[in-house]
Amino acid sequence: MSLVAERAQGVADGRRARAGERLLACEGLFHLYMLEGREVVALQGVDFGVDWGEMVALLGPSGSGKSTMLAILGGLERPSAGRVVLDGIDVSRLSEAQLTVLRRRRLGFVWQGAARNLLPHASAWENLDLPMVLAGLPAARRRKRAKVLLDAVDLGAQRGKPIRALSGGEQQRLAVAVALANNPPLLLADEPTSQLDRANVRRVVELLKEARDDLGTTVVVVTHDAEVAAAMDRTVTIRDGRVSAEGRGGAEYAVVGPTGSLHLPAHALDVLPPGARVVVEVEGDQVVLKPTDGAIPPGEGGS
């Protein structure tokens, strides 16, 4: 079922027309924070961009900085350095009031677990209504849009039910619907499928695709789920606070960092394990890494 209501069609068309243009750009993102007296570097110079209508998955091991980055993209965290530009707006320079408006109109969020997505003591319909109330939509329009969204996520019959009466999958589908209530151009999702079974994972992924297809919504998803990653247009791997690799169409590419650093993919690490010394040779348009036996020859700094 379509997520599109009448008025949203034009908006969706407008977004689709801008496919290929940059919607979201991160330039040189650095982020530090203090944890029990120690300084932690979460992001070390991240350059990252998302085009209109793209579906991007952020991958990486725990602690790599994915969630931090998502929070910065959503204006929930301010970077220590660097810029985040959303449709020409420098998000990192906005005031709290401006960020609130931004979240209201231009961003949708789906978090892991229902507690962060839904009001526990409100019904499905009331949860869907809240963001539209905050956006100041008139009641009639809210009702119509809510119906469309609830039907689209197969919760039309449960509109009056309290949240606790819904299953985990239903709650997460509802969370997607709530995130789309104000038809934001960018949807940010942090592990939206981590607590779901396979069937529900697929359904949520379908919904995200419908949002892109029907509403022109750009989607950025943080995930550990390979199936979810595979369903995205592009994957970006964050490791040690940097973009280490990108993937598209099943192929993965290592990304050279701003200082020339390179994260080798896992299969390459079998040949060149961490700590191994290599000789880097440029042969034409190729860069070749040749492992050594570990000894440094005389005259090159050895003794």
User: Is residue 40 a contact residue for another protein (CB under 8 A)?
Assistant: no
Least distance (Å) between residue 134 CB and another protein: 5
3-state SS string over the chain?
Answer: CCCCCHHHHHHHHHHHHCCCCEEEEEEEEEEEEEECCEEEEEEEEEEEEEECCCEEEEECCCCCCHHHHHHHHCCCCCCCEEEEEECCEEHHHCCHHHHHHHHHHCEEEECCCHHHCCCCCCEHHHHHHHHHHHHCCCHHHHHHHHHHHHHHCCCHHHCCCEHHHCCHHHHHHHHHHHHCCCCCCEEEEECCCCCCCHHHHHHHHHHHHHHHHHHCCEEEEECCCHHHHHHCCEEEEEECCEEEEEEECCEEEECECCCCCECCCHHHHCCCCCCCCEEEEEECCEEEEEECCCCCCECCCEC
User: Is residue 217 a contact residue for another protein (CB under 8 A)?
Assistant: no
User: Is residue 121 a contact residue for another protein (CB under 8 A)?
Assistant: yes
User: Is residue 32 a contact residue for another protein (CB under 8 A)?
Assistant: no
Stretch that binds another protein, among 53-61, 98-106, 210-218, 269-277 (CB under 8 A): 98-106
Least distance (Å) between residue 160 CB and another protein: 12
Among 17, 81, 101, 230, binds another protein (CB under 8 A): 101
User: Is residue 76 a contact residue for another protein (CB under 8 A)?
Assistant: yes
User: Is residue 137 a contact residue for another protein (CB under 8 A)?
Assistant: no
User: Is residue 63 a contact residue for another protein (CB under 8 A)?
Assistant: no
CA distances from 124 to 107, 113, 229 (A): 20, 15, 28
Taking residue 252's Cβ as centre, other Cβ atoms within 10 Å add up to: 15
Least distance (Å) between residue 136 CB and another protein: 10
User: Is residue 178 a contact residue for another protein (CB under 8 A)?
Assistant: yes
User: Is residue 97 a contact residue for another protein (CB under 8 A)?
Assistant: yes
40/255 with CB nearer another protein? 40
User: Is residue 122 a contact residue for another protein (CB under 8 A)?
Assistant: yes
Q: Which residue in this structure is represented by tokens 């379908």?
A: 206
User: Is residue 141 a contact residue for another protein (CB under 8 A)?
Assistant: no
Among 18, 22, 105, 239, binds another protein (CB under 8 A): 105
User: Is residue 118 a contact residue for another protein (CB under 8 A)?
Assistant: yes
User: Is residue 161 a contact residue for another protein (CB under 8 A)?
Assistant: no
122/254 with CB nearer another protein? 122
Among 4, 114, 124, 149, binds another protein (CB under 8 A): 114
182/235 with CB nearer another protein? 182
Q: Identify whether the C-beta of residue 128 lies closer than 8 Å to the C-beta of residue 163.
A: no
- Sites of contact with another protein (CB under 8 A): 71, 76-77, 96-97, 100-101, 103-105, 109, 113-122, 125-126, 129-131, 133-135, 163-164, 178, 182
